[in-house]
Amino acid sequence: MKKILHCLVLLLICNVAMSQSLLTPEQLAKREKRKNLTVKEWNTDDKTKTRWLDRIKVYDNQGRCVEEIEYATYGQKWRVTSTYDDITGKVVEEIEYNDRNRPTRIRKYEWNADGTKAKQYNYLPNGKLFSIKVFEYIFND
């Protein structure tokens, strides 16, 4: 039992190291700059000089986008929250909300060992599976 636990811990460490190596130095540098960042995008009407909020992006302490909100002149158009796997750093769930801040779609993801997206499960707000999208990668020489 102790040997199995030791092997699992080693496998977990290797998995974390491999997942981090999938990020390029440029991607890691971008994430470093976005730690705990909130970005607000504003629009301004040229004639009236009226200014309104267009979009907000919120990043977590690891530089990953955890929330994005799109606004219209009347208020929120939509909002998406993202949840990430602590081990791989990949997004595992996204919840999309409507203008009334009610969930409209839930997406859950599966990833291949090489870091590419394998499947996307689309759920209705009540939790019922709506569709499954499978990703196929074909490289042409």
Per residue in 85-119, pLDDT tens? Answer: 988 889 999 999 999 999 999 999 999 999 899 99
Would you say 103 and 95 are in contact if contact means Cβ atoms under 8 Å apart? yes
CA angle 43, 45, 51 (to 5 degrees): 50
Q: List, in sequence order, the alpha helices (H) in 22-132.
A: 25-33
Per residue in 9-28, pLDDT tens? Answer: 444 444 444 444 467 888 78
Domains of the chain, start order: 2-134 (2.40.128)
Would you say 67 and 58 are in contact if contact means Cβ atoms under 8 Å apart? yes
